[in-house]
Amino acid sequence: MGMKRSKIASEAVLKAAEVFLSRRMYKKRSDGKLIHPDFVQLHYPRYWHYDILGGLKAMTEIGLVKDARCEDALDLLENKELKVGGWPAEKRYYKVASKIELNADYVDWGGTGKHKMNEWVTTDALYVLREAGRA
């Protein structure tokens, strides 16, 4: 039973990957335009949301980051590197709170800003780019 489950799981992973790859990780299949502006903004943590770095990290972990359909997203990721080095967390999905409230975090995730390096995003970006043969 284990081999059959493993085969079924592998097939499901490849089907899911094809959904993203057929869209070049962030573009509409119909016209090649951006699906959603948040897809090209880097976030940390992403929680349940999607961005190109999260998608590329998933492709890396399943061995598909060298697929030619990842190239546009990899180019975009490289272009987001800061002049001083590293990558920013351009947006966030949480608010920082000092007391208990809904939808709040109490952890320093490295900050957010288009010109401020975020060590978590940088670590993920370097991992993806190295595995893609670009770092």
Q: Which domain holds residue 101?
A: 2-131
User: Which tokens in the block code for residue 79?
Assistant: 């272009």
Query: Model-level pTM greater than 0.85?
Result: yes
Number of domains present in the structure of the chain: 1
Measuring CA to CA, which residue among 75, 104, 90, 95 is closest to residue 37?
90
CB 50 within 8 Å of CB 57: no
Question: Which pLDDT tens digit goes with each residue over 57-91?
Answer: 999 999 999 999 999 999 999 999 999 999 999 99
